[in-house]
C-alpha cells in the first residue's frame, strides 16, 4: 500500500510539473479574448465586424422613453444591457490598455482593444443624457429569461430604466465615471478630442453620484435579482475619484479619496474579492502606488493604511494570511471565491496581482505577509498559474477560454451562440421555440463564442459542459476584460523583443 501511495505521489508530482511546464500561446489568447467583445455587441454592427454569426440587434432601444440607447454590450448569455457590469468591463479594458498598451501593441491588437473600449464608452455618452440623468438598464431580466432567442429576433421588453436626482444611484454613476475617466486616459494620445469628451462626462457623473447619494438597486428595482449592489456605493465613489485623479491630476479628487478613506470604508474593509460590485481591493492597490511619489508624502499616513489593506488582499490570494482570511482554493490550486461564475474573481485577482508585482519590481520592494515575505516574482508566478489554469493547465485539461486550445466548453449558456446564426437562417425563432429546439439540444453550439471565459469549475475542479448548467457555462464580459492586459504581458514576458546590438 505504501509503495502504491508513493507511486501515486510521484505521478501527481509529474502531473503538476508537466502542467506548469505547458507553454501557452498568450498572443493567441489575447487575440481571441478581444473577439469576444464583438460577439457581445448590441446595436448596429460596423462594416469591420469580425464575429460574422452576429447581426444588428436592439435597434429600437430607448425608443419608448424618447432617447437613443442603441449600442453597448450584452453582459452575458442574455440580452439585458446592465449598466454596472458594463461599466466595470470598460474600466478593466481601459486599465489593461493604460498599463499594458505596449504589450498589446506588440501583438498588433491595440486597434481592437480601442474598439472594445469605445463600443462601451460611446454607449455611456448616449446613456448620460443630462448631468443628473444616466440610463441604467435596457430590458428586463425577468421577461428576458422567459425567452431563448437570438438577439436579432428579440421580442422581449426593451424598456429602459434611469437614475436621476429623485432616483439616485451613486454606485452606477461612480463606476460609469471611473470607466469614462479610465477610457479618457487610454485615448489621450490617439484621440485627444474623444478623451476630453469622456473626461467631461466622467466629472459630471462623479458630481451627480456624490451630490445625490443612494444605491442604484433601490431606484431601479428590476436589477435586484441580477446585479444588486451588495457593497453599497461608497467603494464606487472612492474608485471614481481615484480614476479622476489619475485622469486630471487635480488634487481635489485625491483629497476626496484621503478624506473619506475611513467613513467610506476605503481603509476599513479588508476584502478578498475584486469584482463588478466590490471595488475596494482595486482602489487600495492603486492608492498604494501613490506612496512612491514625493508629492503624495503629506498623505502618507492614509495611503499607508490603503496599502496595508491592499497587501491583505494579496496575501489572502497567496494563502499567506492568518487562517480563515485566505481565499479558498480548489485541490489543483485555482482561487475559489464562490460557486456562481467563480472565474470572474480569478481573472480580476490575476490582474491585480500582476499589476502589484510590476509595482514591487519597479520600486524594489517586498510584501510582508503573516506567513512570510513575498517578492514580485512569487506574485507574478502565482498570477501566471491562475491564468494557465484557465488556459488548460488543470485536471480536466480544459481551456475555460472558449476557442482556445483543443479542449474547451462547447455548450456555453448563451442564446446567440446556441442558435443557428441569423446570417445563415433569417427565419424568425420565437420565444419558446428557442427553448424547445435549441436550448435542449445535446450537441455543441452551432456558433463558437470565441474568447469567452465561462463560469468555470466547482471547488473540486469539476466542470459539467452543459448549456443548462449556467452557474458554470455562462460567460460574462467582466470575466474576460481583466485578462486582456495579462495575456499581453505574459506573451511579452515569454517572447521579449530582440534588441539589436551594434
Q: Which residues are catalytic?
A: 413
Strand pairing category for 335-336 and 328-329: antiparallel
Residue 367, strand partner residues: 374
Q: Residue 475, by phi and psi: left (phi above 0), alpha (psi -120 to 50) or beta?
A: beta
Distance CA 498, CA 251 (A): 41
- Alpha carbon 168 to chain centroid distance? 24
Residue with cell 472565474: 343
Contact in structure between 463 and 396 (CB atoms under 8 Å): yes
Is the Cβ–Cβ distance between 344 and 275 less than 8 Å?
yes
| Nine-digit cell string for 196 | 476630453
> Where would I find the beta strands (DSSP E) of 25-152?
81-82, 134-138
Q: How many helices (H) and strands (E) does the chain have?
A: 20, 7
> Which H or E element spans position 427?
none
C-alpha distances out from residue 420 to 66, 71, 451, Å: 33, 23, 19
Query: If phi over 0 gives left and psi between -120 and 50 gives alpha, with beta otherwise, what is residue 23?
Result: beta
Measured distance CA(93)–CA(98) in Å, rounded: 9
* Nine-digit cell string for 338: 464562490
CB 51 within 8 A of CB 133: no
Quick check: 126 and 50 in contact, CB under 8 A?
A: no
* Burial of residue 329, with CB atoms counted within 10 A of its CB: 0-12 exposed, 13-18 middle, 19 or more buried: middle
Q: Which of 135, 156, 154 is nearest to 219 (CA)?
A: 135
Question: Where do we find the cell 447619494?
Answer: 213
Q: CA 247 to CA 205: how far, in whole Å?
A: 14
In whole angstroms, what is the distance from residue 342 CA to residue 338 CA? 6
Place of cell 438577439: 151
Nearest to 65 by CA among 162, 203, 208: 162
Reduce the DSSP state of residue 367 to 3 states and report it: strand
Phi, psi for residue 392 in degrees, rounded to 5: 135, -5
DSSP state of 454: B
Backbone angles phi, psi at 72, to 5 degrees: 80, -165
Q: Distance (Å, rounded) from C-alpha 233 to C-alpha 245?
A: 19
Amino acid at each position: 500500500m505504501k509503495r502504491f501511495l508513493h507511486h501515486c505521489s510521484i505521478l501527481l508530482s509529474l502531473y503538476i510539473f508537466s502542467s506548469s511546464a505547458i507553454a501557452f500561446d498568450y498572443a493567441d489568447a489575447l487575440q481571441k479574448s478581444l473577439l469576444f467583445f464583438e460577439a457581445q455587441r448590441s446595436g448596429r454592427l460596423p462594416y469591420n465586424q469580425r464575429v460574422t454569426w452576429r447581426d444588428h440587434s436592439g435597434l429600437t432601444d430607448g425608443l419608448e422613453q424618447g432617447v437613443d440607447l442603441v449600442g453597448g454590450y450584452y453582459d452575458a448569455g442574455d440580452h439585458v444591457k446592465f449598466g454596472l457590469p458594463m461599466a466595470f468591463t470598460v474600466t478593466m479594458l481601459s486599465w489593461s490598455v493604460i498599463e499594458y498598451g505596449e504589450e498589446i501593441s506588440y501583438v498588433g491588437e491595440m486597434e481592437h482593444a480601442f474598439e472594445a473600449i469605445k463600443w462601451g464608452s460611446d454607449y455611456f455618452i448616449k446613456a448620460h443624457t443630462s448631468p443628473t440623468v444616466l440610463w441604467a438598464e435596457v430590458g428586463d431580466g425577468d421577461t428576458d429569461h422567459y425567452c431563448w432567442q437570438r438577439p436579432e429576433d428579440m421580442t422581449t421588453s426593451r424598456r429602459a430604466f434611469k437614475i436621476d436626482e429623485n432616483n439616485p444611484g451613486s454606485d452606477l454613476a461612480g463606476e460609469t465615471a471611473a470607466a469614462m475617466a479610465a477610457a479618457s486616459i487610454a485615448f489621450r494620445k490617439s484621440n485627444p478630442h474623444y478623451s476630453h469628451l469622456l473626461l467631461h462626462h466622467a466629472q459630471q457623473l462623479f458630481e451627480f453620484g456624490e451630490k445625490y447619494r443612494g444605491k442604484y438597486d433601490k431606484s431601479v428595482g428590476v436589477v435586484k435579482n441580477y446585479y444588486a449592489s451588495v457593497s453599497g456605493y461608497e467603494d464606487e465613489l472612492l474608485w471614481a475619484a481615484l480614476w479622476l485623479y489619475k485622469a486630471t491630476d487635480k488634487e481635489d479628487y485625491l483629497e476626496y479619496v484621503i478624506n473619506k478613506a475611513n467613513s467610506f470604508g476605503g481603509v476599513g474593509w479588508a476584502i478578498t474579492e475584486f469584482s463588478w460590485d466590490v471595488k475596494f481591493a482595486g482602489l487600495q492597490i492603486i492608492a498604494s502606488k501613490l506612496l512612491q511619489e514625493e508629492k503624495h508624502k503629506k498623505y502618507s499616513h492614509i495611503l499607508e493604511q490603503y496599502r496595508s489593506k491592499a497587501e491583505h488582499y494579496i496575501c489572502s490570494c497567496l494563502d499567506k494570511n492568518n487562517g480563515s482570511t485566505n481565499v479558498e482554493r480548489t485541490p489543483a490550486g485555482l482561487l475559489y471565491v464562490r460557486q456562481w461564475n467563480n472565474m470572474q474573481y480569478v481573472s480580476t485577482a490575476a490582474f491585480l496581482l500582476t499589476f502589484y508585482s510590476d509595482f514591487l519590481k519597479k520600486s524594489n520592494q517586498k510584501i510582508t505577509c503573516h506567513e512570510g515575505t513575498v517578492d514580485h516574482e512569487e506574485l507574478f508566478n502565482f498570477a501566471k498559474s491562475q491564468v494557465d489554469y484557465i488556459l488548460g493547465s488543470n485536471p480536466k485539461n480544459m481551456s475555460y477560454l472558449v476557442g482556445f486550445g483543443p479542449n474547451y466548453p462547447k455548450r456555453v449558456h448563451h442564446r446567440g451562440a446556441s442558435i443557428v446564426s441569423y446570417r445563415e437562417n433569417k427565419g424568425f425563432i420565437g420565444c419558446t421555440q428557442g427553448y424547445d429546439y435549441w436550448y435542449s439540444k445535446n450537441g455543441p453550439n452551432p456558433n463558437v463564442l470565441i474568447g469567452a471565459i465561462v463560469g468555470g469549475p466547482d471547488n473540486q475542479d469539476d466542470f459539467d459542459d452543459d448549456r443548462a448548467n449556467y452557474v458554470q457555462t455562462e460567460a460574462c464580459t467582466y470575466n474576460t476584460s481583466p485578462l486582456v492586459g495579462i495575456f499581453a504581458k505574459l506573451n511579452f514576458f515569454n517572447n521579449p523583443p530582440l534588441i539589436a546590438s551594434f
